[in-house]
Amino acid sequence: MTTDSVTSVSHSVNVLFVCLGNICRSPTAEAVFRHYVDSAGLAEQVVVDSVGTAGYHIGAPSDSRAIEAAQRRGYDMSAIRARQVAIEDFEQFDYILAMDKANLQSLLAQCPEQHAHKLALFLSHGDTPQTNEVPDPYYGDGAGFETVLNLVESASQGLLQHIIDNPLQKS
Ligand code: 4NP
């Protein structure tokens, strides 16, 4: 995104990306969104993390295909390790953004009601009206990881602008 309109956000904002395994889509979103946050000079004010709704890959690095596709576009996923969503996440994070409807449903089933307003599809912030889900690339060919990056880049720009335009009211 262009950064010249960016000044600051008034409170720290905590953003959590969620997919199934936390080795393909949500860590890609974490790396891409963090890159935009850093470029906008907002690294001190925006916390970025990702989780899976499933625990299949806890502690594992991201899928090597995702790491390589992201690296080709200048995004670093090397330090990310998979973890599973925990009940504390619903309290800690302000934006909890699911990659697809199945994972959004899974989050809704676990989320305390007072935090349910934080849950949304990540692509609700994107500029891709043809789809509101990031397709799972895990069982497909390499092209799926490029599709993930295209969708994630679009939605990351929209999300950062949304955060800048809508300061959180925190006490
Ligand atoms: P992700 O992709 O949810 O984007 O991380 C997947 C990773 C692993 C599996 C499924 C989806 N799995 O079945 O192990």
Q: Do 9 and 46 touch, CB atoms closer than 8 A?
A: yes
CA dihedral angle for residue 148, residue 74, residue 127, residue 30, rounded to 10 degrees:
70
In this predicted structure, what is the pLDDT of residue 169? 78
In this predicted structure, what is the pLDDT of residue 152? 98
pTM of the model: 0.94
- CA 96, CA 74: separation in Å to the nearest integer? 25
Identify the segments of the chain with pLDDT beneath 50: 1-6
- CA 64, CA 125: separation in Å to the nearest integer? 27
In this predicted structure, what is the pLDDT of residue 168? 85
- Pocket of ligand 1 contains residue 51 by CB under 6 Å: no
Nearest CA to ligand 1 atom 10: 21
- CA 102, CA 152: separation in Å to the nearest integer? 18
pLDDT digits 0-9 by tens, 124-162: 999 988 899 999 999 999 999 999 999 999 999 999 999
In this predicted structure, what is the pLDDT of residue 1? 44
Nearest CA to ligand 1 atom 9: 21
Q: How far is the CA of 167 from the centre of ligand 1 (A)?
A: 33
In this predicted structure, what is the pLDDT of residue 15? 98
